[in-house]
A and B are shown apart, each in its own frame.
Chain A
Amino acid sequence: MTDRVRLSRIVQVFGWTGLTSLGGGRSAYFYDAVVMRRAWLKSHEFIQDLTLSQLLPGPSFNNLGVALGVRLAGWRGGAWGALALLVPGALILLGLTLLYFHVGFTPNTASAMHGMGAAVVGLVFITTARMIRASMRGGRAIVVAAAIFVLVGPLHVNTGLGVLIMVPLSLWLHRPRGRS
């Protein structure tokens, strides 16, 4: 498997994504970086890795970085991509932690976080809409996506349980048919 993207570019872009992904819904920043702005991946490829990162155990943003890195540049892409993604935020949080415990800094940023949170809702909404427009094909896919949305969203079913219910159903609905 040949590398699609140079390792140094992966470190640069993943590092920037790690440094700028503020306020939740962080996979939307990745979509913007590798699908919208650079066309390193097609939308359906991103969704494949996004889905995998959500189904596997572990923090999904980090899993997504590993999956995208492996796809773009093999093992080294996964390892360096994940490191580049984590290190900026880890260093900033370590600095804030030291300030908190040694200087008495207390996070009193509720107003700013409310503003950021509202913008992130808009960001994740527009990203999800783009993914749906680019990749959702066929009534079965729409039914499955709508069902897991209702289960995990409005009905507050635990994500793991929702996945356990819907994955077998979706795989059965999308099973290979005939010789094709």
Chain B
Amino acid sequence: MILDLARMTWTFLWLSLICVGGGLGVIPELQRQVVDRFHWVTAREFLDGYTLSQLTPGPTMLVSIFVGYRAHGILGAFLATAAMFLPTAVLTAVITRHWATLRDRPWARACERGLAPIGIGLMAAGVYTLARSGIHDWATGSLALIAVAVLSTGWLPPVLLVLGAGIVGWLMGL
């Protein structure tokens, strides 16, 4: 059992290290590891767990809690989640802190100028990807347009709008 716990922790750790540009890209590999290779969850459970993680606020990669709990209870959920988030959080903190001391140098400013459009381009690609999966008929298209119109005024917090759209979707049976 301890060996399998260590194996699971290691699996989530290396999966976190190949997770670049958001969690979506690593989902297929995560499924391969936890369903097909180590059988910690069934394919149906993985799909339900992923759905729950999308339904829940916070990062989608919190699906580690679901898989970890299924495999080794509360301890498994804790270790899988710590492995998924902690090492890369420490790495980010160290790099961010160190970068702050370099920020005023000309080459660092040039780096920031060079990297900023990468971030914006990736965000725009995220809009495209979300739109392809989230807009599939006139009703969902209209909801997206209404969201743009309401949010551009700034008077409604995003969460209320998203929850409201969820209720509309549920009532309309989208």
Complex contacts, A39 vs chain B, CB 8 Å? none
Complex contacts, B6 vs chain A, CB 8 Å? none
CB of A37 to closest CB in B, whole Å: 8
Complex contacts, B11 vs chain A, CB 8 Å? none
- The count of residues in chain B whose C-beta lies closer than 8 Å to any C-beta of chain A is 100
Q: Evaluate contact between A70 and B93: CB separation under 8 angstroms.
A: yes
Any A CB within 8 A of the CB of B43: no
Q: Interface SS of chain A: helix, strand, loop or mixed?
A: helix
Residue interface mask B48-88, A partner, CB < 8 A = 1: 11011111111111110110011000000100010011011
Q: Evaluate contact between A149 and B59: CB separation under 8 angstroms.
A: no
CB of A36 to closest CB in B, whole Å: 7
Complex contacts, A117 vs chain B, CB 8 Å? 130, 133-134, 140
Beta-carbon contacts under 8 Å, A98-123 to B: 98, 100-101, 106-107, 109, 111-123
Closest to A21 in B: B57
Which B residues have a C-beta under 8 Å from some C-beta of A? 16-23, 25, 48-49, 51-63, 65-66, 69-70, 77, 81, 84-85, 87-89, 91-93, 95-97, 99-100, 106-107, 109-131, 133-136, 139-141, 143-148, 151-152, 154, 157-159, 161-170, 172-174
Cross-chain pairs A/B with CB under 8 angstroms, 15 sampled: A22-B163, A24-B134, A47-B120, A48-B112, A54-B20, A89-B62, A90-B62, A111-B172, A121-B144, A123-B161, A124-B126, A126-B152, A144-B117, A148-B125, A175-B114
